[in-house]
Structure formats: C-alpha cells, structure tokens
Structure 1
Amino acid sequence: MYQEERLLAILQFLKANKRISVEQICSLFQVSRDTARRDIVKLEEEKAIVRTRGGAILPTSNHAIKNYSSRLKMVSEEKHVIGQKAASLIYPHDRVILDASTTVQACAEHLGHIDCTIITNSINQAEVLSSKSKVNIQLLGGKLHKEHRFLYGASVLEKLTEYHVDKAFIGVVGISEKGLTIAHEEDGGVKRKMMQQADQVIVLADHTKLGITDFYRFAGLEDIDLLITDKTPPKPFRELLSKYNVELLTPDEDIEGDD
C-alpha cells in the first residue's frame, strides 16, 4: 500500500473511531513504528489530524464555508480533472442539470461546443456556458444567495418539477455512510429536487470530501448512480459504495467494478 492510500485509510479509521494509536497503525497496515510516525507527521502537516501522545485524533471539524468567489480561486487541479471527466459524459442532445458547486463548474468549463441543454441554478455557470455556441442554457430563476452565487427558493423547486433530464451533476461538501451533505439547507433542497428529476445522478467530489459529513443531509447513497473522484478511495469506502450500488469513476480509469 502506498503512503497516500494509507493516509486516506487512517483518516477513514479516525472518522469511525475518533482516535488512532501508533500501534494500531502498525497492526492495521503492517508497517513499522517509524513509518506510522511518519504518516502521523504527514497528516499533521496537512492539518488533517492533531497529534497526541502515542497517536492522533481528528481536529474540530466545524468550519466556515468560504464564499463562492473565494472557493473559485482555490479550485484545485483535482477539481479540474474531475470536471474534465464529468464533461466527457455529456453527449450531443443530452439534457443535463448542473448544480451550483465549484467542482461542477469545472465540468461546465470543460464542456465542448456540443448541442445539448443545460439547466442550472448557478449564475456563474450560466456565464461560463454562454461562450459555448451550441449549448442551450435554462437558468432557473429564484432568490439569489449573493455569497454563494446560487438561485434557490420555491420558484426554483417548482420550475424543476417541469423538467426531466438524462443526467444531474451534483457537488457535495461531504459524502459518507450518512449520505450526501452540504453546508446550507437552501442549497441542499435544490440539489435534492435536481436529483429527483434525473435518470442518472452523478456526484462530483475530490478525495478530501470522502468520509466527511457536513451540516445538512440532502440525499442518501442509495440516491446516486455514479461517483467521480480524483483518486481511488480506500477499500472500506469502495465497499460502502458497492453496498449501495454506486459505481466509481476516476479520471485515469473506466467505471470500476467491485473488485
């Protein structure tokens, strides 16, 4: 097992058990104490854990979600490769919903000049897509969340009931055994309705979102068909996806089975 995979597995263990010792790392992953300590140091440097005497615990996870403009400035290479892979799944004549997350905006940015219809509640994505000559854009009207740049409210939910689409691309703050979660209830309500109107629900989430549970749960794992992420998750998370018949797609691989 590579260190990167082991670090993800350690975080998964911490999310389930709250703490981990050097001895447990050695036993779980068949590594030396020196290797276990290096793993803890690496996770501490990434601010993913808090070191304790003989092990590690998770830091306090409550944090403010940066506004949309700030999050756009921080869009990572991981989000770009996820967006590129997601865009490759949109075909001519598809009818598609894109939500208002920055990862899904990366999908919009990589979309080619193909004849398709995009429905979105994101004013930023509508602007991005306006440069795609063949894309038909349906912008959902409603109340504007100024900080996070999405439209929401009763009029958005009512309008969504009128559409039936081939695919919905949904971003999350967290995806775990507790389902799909987001920071804002208003956003979550719209995402839930978007998913209900689609034949195929595709979640876009980089590896830092896996195993995370945020404030508002808007859907369960049983409600999604495909997860696109930037690297293969640890085995326990893959088994969780398999339990709910969620297919997994990473940028350098085809859709994966259960093995």
Structure 2
Amino acid sequence: MYQEERLIAILDYLKQHHRITTEQICSLLHISRDTARRDLVKLEEQQVIIRTRGGAILPSVHQKIKDYSGRLKTVSEEKSKIGRLAASLIHDGDRVILDASTTVQACSEHLHVSDCIVITNSINQAELLSDKEGIEIHLLGGKLQKEHRFLYGASVIEKLASYHVDKALIGVVGISEHGLTIAHEEDGMVKRKMIQQAKQVIALADHSKLGTTDFYQYAQLSEIDLLVTDRVPEQGFCDLLERNGVELLVTEQD
C-alpha cells in the first residue's frame, strides 16, 4: 500500500472514531511503528491531524454559527422531518417549553393542537405560533440577542422558574459523551433552566450534531429523556444513550 493510500485510510478511521493510536495504525495497515510515525508526521505537516502521545486526533472545527435568518434558509429536509416527528409528541392540553433553535421551530411549523400553552424565548417561535388556533403563547422577556433572535438574561431565567411544564423541546449544536453543548453561553444558561422545569426533556438534533462537542455544556446526557434525530447513530453512540437512560426516536427513512 502506498503512503497516500495509508493516509486516506488513517483519516477515514479518524472521521469515524475521532482518535487513533500508533498501535491501531500498525494493526489496521499491517505496517511497522516507524512507518506509522512517518505517516502521522506527514498528516501533521498537512495540518489535518493533531499528534498526541501515542497517536493522533482530528483538529477541532469551530464553524461560525450563522445568524437566525441565515439558518432558517438552510433548514434541511432532515430538520423538517425531525420537527414533524417531534410535533407528534405534543398533545392537546400539553404545557410545553420551546427553545429558540431552528430545529425546534420546524416542530412549531407542524404543530396542530388545542388547549396548549407554549412558553418560549424565541421571537420567531412566538410569531409563527401566533397564527395557530388553540395555542396560548407566553413570550419570556429579557435582553434580545439580535443575530439569533432569542431573549436571555436573569429575567428570562427568573421567569422560567415559575413555570412547571409537561415537556421541553431543546435543540442542540452538539451532543456527545460531554452532554449537550452549544456555542453561546447565554443561550445555554436559558436552555439549562428550561430543562429543569420540564417533566420530560426532548432533544432535537440532526445526524451532524451527534458525537459533536461545542463550547458550552448546559446539560448532562442523563438529563434528557428522548433524542429525536434523522439517522440511526453508530452503535457506540447508541450504547452511550442507553447507559444514560436516553430513549432514541428516528424519523422514517426514505
């Protein structure tokens, strides 16, 4: 096997498992430790890995979060399917909290219930739901995050403490062994309080968020009851959910 072929094989393994040891490279490619080290040096020179003691990991990719209107334009079919399935979990008479994520907004678009109370910190959620009959909206007041159109701060968290609801639907930027994470701390603090006020916590995440860790952790995996996603995760991630008592719900595949 040529070096270029080995480098591709190492990167493919890292994309799936996130880290690799020198011993694993030797076993996987049937090469010596010296050859494995040379391959890692080459990949490091290409700036596609970070070498660690005994192996390598992929570098963190910190993508700039688009503003809310930009994210709405890129709401995928996967998110729409997740939203439709999540909406089916909300019933007449439910009291629910909806956060400001675009995936949760996809749920609002498919929501058709009566005698339902919705509490949200999202201007867009409130506007969308205001056109639907049978839904009473409580918009949490606070400081406006202009780019992402959500309200946050001490007044939002204080007001949330007064509500006790059946369900909270929470979007995530990352969900992994490090729990639920997001880029913005102020948004994460509000989500944390939303989770604390609900009998059932439902996380919504498309497949690209699974196994990903972002900047700020706002909940442990064990704090959510149900994960709704669009693809069956790899076995290791399913095992992680099971250990933390999280039920998995996957949209129907075409």
TM-score tier (shorter): 0.7 to 0.9
Contact 1:180 1:218 in 2 (8 A): yes
Q: Which runs of 5 or more structure 2 residues have no equivalent in the other structure?
A: 1-10, 31-46, 50-55
Matches within 5 A, 1:1-259: 11-14=15-18, 16-17=19-20, 24=28, 50=48, 58-252=58-252
Q: Which runs of 5 or more structure 1 residues have no equivalent in the other structure?
A: 1-6, 27-48, 254-259
Contact 2:174 2:214 in 1 (8 A): yes
Alpha-carbon distance between aligned partners in 2 of 1:236 and 1:217, rounded to the nearest angstrom: 21
Shift of 1:192: 0.2
Cα pair distance change 1:18/1:213, threshold 3 Å: farther
TM-score between the two structures when normalised by the length of structure 2: 0.80
For 1:42-75, what per-residue CA distance to the aligned partner results, in whole angstroms no more than 9, with x for missing partners?
xxxxxxx959xxxx96354122111111111110
Contact 2:91 2:113 in 1 (8 A): no
Alpha-carbon distance between aligned partners in 2 of 1:178 and 1:185, rounded to the nearest angstrom: 15
For 1:215-252, what per-residue CA distance to the aligned partner results, in whole angstroms no more than 9, with x for missing partners?
00011001100000001000000000000010000112
% identical equivalent positions: 64
CA root-mean-square deviation: 2.6
TM-score between the two structures when normalised by the length of structure 1: 0.79
4+ residue segments displaced more than 3 Å: 7-12, 16-26, 56-60
Contact 2:14 2:20 in 1 (8 A): no
The number of equivalent residue pairs is 221
**What amino acid is the match of 2:115?**
D
Shift of 1:10: 6.1
Alpha-carbon distance between aligned partners in 1 of 2:109 and 2:215, rounded to the nearest angstrom: 28
Contact 1:12 1:211 in 2 (8 A): no
Contact 1:8 1:233 in 2 (8 A): no
Shift of 1:156: 0.3
Cα pair distance change 1:72/1:25, threshold 3 Å: farther
Cα pair distance change 1:25/1:247, threshold 3 Å: farther
